[in-house]
Amino acid sequence: MASQIPAIEITGLTKDYSVGFWRKRMRRSLDHLSLRVEEGEIFGFLGPNGAGKTTTLKLLMGLIFPTDGTANILGRPIDDISMHRDIGYLPEHPYFYDYLTARELLDYYARFSHYPAEERRVRVARVLERVGLASAADVQLRKFSKGMLQRAGIAQAIIHDPRLVFLDEPMSGLDPIGRHEVRDIILDLKTQGRTVFFSTHILSDAEMLCDRVAVLHEGKLRGIGSPGKIVSLEVQAMEILFEPVENQPLPSNLAQHATPVGGRYRMEVPEAELYRTINDLRSCSARILSVSPVRPTLEDYFLGLVERKPNAPVEAHAQ
Amino acid sequence: MSAMPGVVAINTFREAVRDRVLYNLVFFALLMIGAAIIVGQISIGIERLVIVNLGLTAISIFGLVMAIFIGVGLVYKEIEKRTLYSLLSKPIRRWEFLVGKYAGLILTLVINTAFMTAGLAVALFYVGRPFVRSDASILIAIYFILLALALVTAIALFFSCFSSPMLSTLFTLAIYVTGLFAADIRDFGALTHSSFIKTATSVLYYLVPNFHDFNSIAVAAHGESIPFALVWQNTLYALMYIALLLVASSAIFSRRNLK
Ligand SMILES: Nc1ncnc2c1ncn2[C@@H]1O[C@H](COP(=O)(O)OP(=O)(O)OP(=O)(O)O)[C@@H](O)[C@H]1O
Ligand SMILES: [Mg+2]
């Protein structure tokens, strides 16, 4: 392991919210979560809406207090504020003082790291460039779009070069270019030896970036491990896209399984039957446009979780 | 002492300025100009009385409106808009944030009051009265107004740590008005034969801050001097009360779950 002290160590973290207006009931949003993130890892925190991802991050940031359980960040308990010097946090749907410009906002946050004026100026300019806001540096935040706010949020999370960065849905609200840039930022952080803990429900982001992921569902940890172990390697089927020879009917064995899409055909076959199908296609001189594996989406995985009996063992998903 | 509250305070002041809070000074200036012109035309030797009375009352009311309405939103707005989330991930403690917000509003009130004081001085100069030594009591009266405002702000901040701006405004106003008449209420209680009312009114008297003692407007308007002991008494009284309220606010706010 990279280091003796884990970057994050969560033990039995639990959060109940009281809900209901007249008769207050307790609702468990996080149920005895335990996990450990090593220094230098990019760790993905996955789960469908309402799984408890944001709740976990807010607990770790000390914005709300646990009903039960403890957590340490960089070896220090979460109520030790001095540890905040070494962490950065992007809240979900960030919002900032809208009377400030992006430059003023970042300068404000940099003051909490006690940088002298000149260093603040340099850092602010650099991080604005990094998140692609250099041209909007002197625009008031009330005029920012959703994606621009998200970028400002990422900027304030990394302006002080923290050892550990928490990002709550860093890609949300971003256009494809923005998502790509954020991916680059996260990978850069890893190159610099930093730890990144981010929540998302987009599987491809997690697949592309994460050393390990944890899957949360209804407040419970349902799986933890490398992304491949969790979902993506279980190829369900192969998808074939082909174009038949013009004016020639499809052989019935193909016609049965293929669905026409704008002059072309699409079909899904089990991996074992791939070569046989390709032979069939060759014999009728069809043009094969693409062959690609169909992987379960995170949604499929979550659906699987919902359908699985509660308390059934989560085989193959455990560590 | 850490520098964190100072950073928050400066930003709070900047917010007030950018939200055009200081525009109230325009109204104050118009009021003073209008009063000076009218009084200057009457000219029967009560210029000073009228101008000082009006000026100090306006300073007090303008300040009060600002202290309460900004005060109750200081913390609430940051929670509601979630601007607090990223801030609290910085190495700042919740009490430091609270003290910073408080100090920021006090700074705003002091600067606002300083401008109004200058306006009052100009108006007095215009009605043609040379400044004399007893004018010191005008400055002391203004100092008392500021102490009272600082106290009101602390009350507003305290309530805003656990209730909505609407309720906080009501509570703060109620305490302010009760505090203005605290001595009267106690004296009324002493007149009754019910020992329950006697006790209740004197408990109330000691519980709510006594704002009556901070009002030296009439004294200053008549050019009388304000005893030095009162300056000390009011200063200590306000500081202790404020300290108590800030500690209580911090204790509540530090345990609070942010939505
Ligand atoms: N302040 C609150 N009061 C009551 N219940 C809450 C509160 N905040 C969250 N919850 C509940 O806690 C559960 C987990 O919410 P959380 O925001 O952590 O989910 P999430 O995994 O971040 O979801 P999403 O992907 O939609 O952001 C939800 O059922 C939600 O209704
Ligand atoms: Mg969330």
Q: Which residues pair with A290 in a beta bridge?
A: A241
Residue window 73-112, chain B: list those with CB within 8 Å of chain A. Answer: 81-93
Residue with tokens 């070494």: A86
CA distance A187 to A201: 19
Report residue A318's pLDDT band, with 50, 70 and 90 as the boundaries. Answer: very low
In angstroms, what CA-CA distances link A156 with A32, A58, A91, A102, B111? 31, 17, 11, 10, 31
Check if A14 contacts B (Cβ < 8 Å): no
Helix (H, G, I), strand (E, B) or coil at A249: coil
Average pLDDT over chain A reads: 87
Query: Are A95 and A175 in contact, with CB atoms under 8 Å apart?
Result: no
Q: Do B7 and A63 touch (CB under 8 A)?
A: no
In angstroms, what CA-CA distances link A243 with A238, A247, A269? 17, 11, 17
Q: Which residue has the least CA distance to atom 5 on ligand 1?
A: A17
Q: Which residue of B has its CA nearest to A66?
A: B257
Nearest to B33 by CA among B16, B58, B13, B8: B58
Q: What is the pTM of this model?
A: 0.86
| Chain B CB contacts of A84 below 8 Å | 89-92
Nearest Cβ partner for A94 among B14, B86, B91: B86
pLDDT, residue B34, reads: 82
Q: Do B82 and A93 touch (CB under 8 A)?
A: yes
ipTM of the complex, rounded to two decimals: 0.87
Window from A20-24, A151-155, A185-189 with minimum mean pLDDT: A20-24
DSSP-assigned letter for residue A231: I
Check if B4 contacts A (Cβ < 8 Å): yes
**How many Cα neighbours within 13 Å face the side chain of B206?**
5
Packing angle, helices B182-191 and B195-207, rounded to 10: 170
Q: Which residues pair with A102 in a beta bridge?
A: none
| Chain B CB contacts of A99 below 8 Å | 14-15, 18-19
How far, in Å, is the centroid of ligand 2 from the Cα of A244? 47
Query: Are B39 and B50 in contact, with CB atoms under 8 Å apart?
Result: yes
pLDDT at A6 over 70: yes
pLDDT, residue B166, reads: 95
Average pLDDT over chain B reads: 89
Residue-wise burial string across A134-145, b where 16 or more C-beta atoms lie within 10 A, e elsewhere: eebeeebbeebe
Q: Do B83 and A153 touch (CB under 8 A)?
A: no
Report residue A234's pLDDT band, with 50, 70 and 90 as the boundaries. Answer: low
Report residue B200's pLDDT band, with 50, 70 and 90 as the boundaries. Answer: confident
Ligand 1 binding pocket includes A52 (Cβ within 6 Å): yes
Q: Which residues pair with A8 in a beta bridge?
A: A37, A73
CA distance A228 to A235: 11
CA distance A3 to A1: 6
Window from A78-92, A118-132, B184-198 with minimum mean pLDDT: B184-198
Q: In what order do the strands lie in the sheet with A287-294?
A: A259-261, A264-269, A237-243, A287-294
Window from A131-140, A170-179, A187-196 with minimum mean pLDDT: A170-179
Q: What phi-psi label fits residue B82: left (phi over 0), alpha (psi between -120 and 50 degrees) or beta?
A: left
Beta-sheet pairing, A237-243 with A264-269: antiparallel
H or E element at residue A144 = none
DSSP assignments along A30-50, one per residue: EEEEEEEE-TT-EEEEE--TT
Q: Do A94 and B85 touch (CB under 8 A)?
A: yes
Q: Do B85 and A89 touch (CB under 8 A)?
A: yes
Ligand 1 binding pocket includes A220 (Cβ within 6 Å): no
Q: Do A94 and B82 touch (CB under 8 A)?
A: yes
Q: Do B15 and A153 touch (CB under 8 A)?
A: no
pLDDT at B169 over 90: yes
CA distance B138 to B225: 9
CA distance, residue B158 to nearest chain A CA (Å)? 19
Nearest to B258 by CA among A158, A89, A219, A174: A89
Structure tokens at B232: 């000390």
CA distance B230 to B226: 7
Q: Which residue has the higher pLDDT, A142 or A246?
A: A142
Q: Do B7 and A157 touch (CB under 8 A)?
A: no
pLDDT, residue B165, reads: 94
Window from A86-90, A207-211, A291-295, B228-232 with minimum mean pLDDT: A291-295
Query: Are A128 and A104 in contact, with CB atoms under 8 Å apart?
Result: no
Q: Which residue of A has its CA nearest to B87?
A: A109
| Chain B CB contacts of A60 below 8 Å | none
pLDDT, residue A316, reads: 40
Q: Which residue has the least CA distance to atom 30 on ligand 1?
A: A50
Query: Are B201 and B181 in contact, with CB atoms under 8 Å apart?
Result: no
Report residue B188's pLDDT band, with 50, 70 and 90 as the boundaries. Answer: confident
pLDDT at A314 over 50: no
Q: What phi-psi label fits residue A262: left (phi over 0), alpha (psi between -120 and 50 degrees) or beta?
A: left
Extents of the domains making up chain B: 4-254
pLDDT at B110 over 80: yes
| Chain A CB contacts of B7 below 8 Å | 108, 111-112
| Chain B CB contacts of A66 below 8 Å | none
Q: Do B90 and A112 touch (CB under 8 A)?
A: yes
Percentages helix, strand, coil for chain A, rounded to the nearest 5?
Answer: 35, 30, 35
Phi and psi at B234, nearest 5°, equal -65, -40
CA distance, residue A20 to nearest chain B CA (Å)? 15
Q: Which residues pair with A265 in a beta bridge?
A: A242, A260
CA distance, residue A84 to nearest chain B CA (Å)? 5
Ligand 1 binding pocket includes A29 (Cβ within 6 Å): yes
Residue with tokens 């300073």: B59
DSSP-assigned letter for residue B256: P
Report residue B43's pLDDT band, with 50, 70 and 90 as the boundaries. Answer: low
Angle (CA) A235-A237-A238 rounded to 5° is 110
Packing angle, helices B94-126 and B24-42, rounded to 10: 20
pLDDT, residue B2, reads: 60
Residue window 181-240, chain A: list those with CB within 8 Å of chain B. Answer: none
Q: Which residues pair with A25 in a beta bridge?
A: A19
Residue-wise burial string across A180-196, b where 16 or more C-beta atoms lie within 10 A, e elsewhere: ebbeebbeebbeeebbb
pLDDT, residue A305, reads: 65
Average confidence (pLDDT) over A254-269: 86
**How many Cα neighbours within 13 Å face the side chain of A293?**
10
Ligand 1 binding pocket includes A49 (Cβ within 6 Å): yes
pLDDT at A233 over 70: no
Tell me the pLDDT tens digit for each residue of A187-222: 999 999 999 999 998 877 888 899 999 999 889 998
H or E element at residue A290 = strand A287-294
Q: Which residue has the higher pLDDT, B40 or B148?
A: B148
Burial class (CB in 10 A: 0-12, 13-18, 19+), B229: exposed
Check if A88 contacts B (Cβ < 8 Å): yes
Q: Which residue has the least CA distance to atom 3 on ligand 1?
A: A17
How far, in Å, is the centroid of ligand 1 from the Cα of A50? 5
* Domains and their CATH numbers in chain A: 8-225 (3.40.50.300), 237-294 (3.30.1490)
Residue with tokens 């419970």: A220
Window from B62-76, B125-139, B244-258 with minimum mean pLDDT: B125-139
Q: Which residue of A has its CA nearest to B77?
A: A97
